[in-house]
Amino acid sequence: MINVGIYGVTGYAGYELLRWLGRHRDVRVIFTASESQSGKQLSEIFPGPLEARLIAPDDAPLGDVDVVFLGLPHGAAAKTAVRALDAGVRVIDLSADFRLATPAAYTQWYGHEHPAPDLLPAAYGLVELNREQIRSARLVANPGCYPTTVVLGLAPLLQAGLVSDPTIIVDSKSGISGAGRPPKQNTSFVEVNESLSAYNIGRVHRHVGEMEQEAAKLTTGTAPQIIFTPHLLPISRGMLSSIYIRVPETLSEAAARELFLQHYANEPFVRVLPAGQLAAIAHTSNTNLATISVTLAKPGLLIILSSLDNLVKGAAGQAIQNMNVMFSLEETEGLR
């Protein structure tokens, strides 16, 4: 039995973690902490199927757990990670605090000093690319949801050296839960419903740094430059990215698809779709699955569609997958 603690359990990702962990045979949730709601029962806030006592983060019994999940705002996560690691507890951080490998990169994208530079680099928790490093890691940075769709959609091509133009266009659409739970004007129902809006487009969204960092690791040639257009999609959960990649004119659609099929042949949570099927959000909702479709638009130009549930494979599910790897459990346990 692995004993776990959750920080930030009243956020969307934290709640989702608790929901999935409830189905995990090898896990015991020892504590659930919430800064703003401590002292309450979870059902006082959301009278659904889950029950938990919410404790103050400072009261968390770190001595009783093997691993903690951090569903905390950026910044707060780093501070809690330090405390947990000092107590000998392994950490899976769902925030962005440890996704960039260097303090310099962090400062470039987040505009201030890293709160715990000594802990960098953490293991980047994209299991499909980084399983071995995760296995022994004390601190795992759970990837961002957008980067998960994009890095999974690029990896086979980058590793095969088949990206012929480093400029890669990514047009992504995310369900609103990706923006977190605190109320904001731009995530109010009437503002997003029956609309679609882009934000932070070009090369300014912070996830661009994360995508380019991971893409650079995978390539032997020129590091890719991501042109990124994220959108707020009027659905609660789910994400779809269209990725436009220049490839050699000789690469056929069948060969490209075969490359993806082989690359992910043994991956339980990545499904490469056959010819005639396109990745769509519905297929992956409420699952830890990522689906990928491969379409040759014309010779030399591939369209990769990459879909996942931003709260599962893009957050809580991927975090549990990381935990399973870190503790040598069956990788799919609790995630079916």
Which residues carry out catalysis? 145
Q: Which of 35, 191, 267, 333 binds a second copy (CB under 8 A)?
A: 191
Instruction: Using the minimum distance from each CB to a second copy, give the nearer residue, 60 or 303.
Output: 303
> The tokens of 242 are what?
């269209």
Q: Which of 56, 104, 223, 297 binds a second copy (CB under 8 A)?
A: 297
Q: Which of 39, 48, 61, 117 binds a second copy (CB under 8 A)?
A: 48
| Phi-psi sector, 158: left (phi>0), alpha (psi -120 to 50), beta | alpha
Q: Where in 219-278 is the site for a second copy (CB under 8 A)?
A: 225, 227, 229, 231, 233-238, 240, 242, 244, 271, 273, 277-278
Distance of CA 274 to the CA centre of its chain: 25
Q: How would you label 227-255 residue by residue, b for 16+ Cβ within 10 Å and e otherwise?
A: ebbbbbbbbebbbbbbbbbbbeeebeeee
**Shortest approach of a second copy to residue 42 CB, angstroms?**
12
**Rounded-to-integer distance, Cα 262 and Cα 295, Å:** 16
Q: Which of 28, 88, 104, 199 binds a second copy (CB under 8 A)?
A: 199
**Shortest approach of a second copy to residue 311 CB, angstroms?**
10
Q: How many CA atoms lie within 13 A of 39 on its CB side?
A: 2
**Rounded-to-integer distance, Cα 171 and Cα 168, Å:** 10
**Type of residue found at 258:** E
Instruction: Using the minimum distance from each CB to a second copy, give the nearer residue, 78 or 152.
Output: 152
**Shortest approach of a second copy to residue 320 CB, angstroms?**
14
Q: Which of 195, 222, 252, 262 binds a second copy (CB under 8 A)?
A: 195
Residue range at the interface with a second copy (CB under 8 A); choices 68-76, 89-97, 129-137, 288-296: 288-296
**Rounded-to-integer distance, Cα 336 and Cα 245, Å:** 32
* Binding residues for a second copy, total number by CB under 8 A: 74
**Shortest approach of a second copy to residue 188 CB, angstroms?**
5
**Shortest approach of a second copy to residue 132 CB, angstroms?**
26
Instruction: Using the minimum distance from each CB to a second copy, give the nearer residue, 104 or 297.
Output: 297
**Shortest approach of a second copy to residue 101 CB, angstroms?**
23
Contact call for residue 34 and a second copy (CB under 8 A): no
Give whole-number Cα distances, 290 to 24, 29, 103, 187, 273, in Å: 20, 26, 30, 25, 10
DSSP state of 237: S
Contact call for residue 49 and a second copy (CB under 8 A): yes
The pair phi, psi for residue 173, each rounded to 5°, is -130, 125
Q: How many CA atoms lie within 13 A of 168 on its CB side?
A: 31
Contact call for residue 56 and a second copy (CB under 8 A): no
Q: Where in 149-168 is the site for a second copy (CB under 8 A)?
A: 167
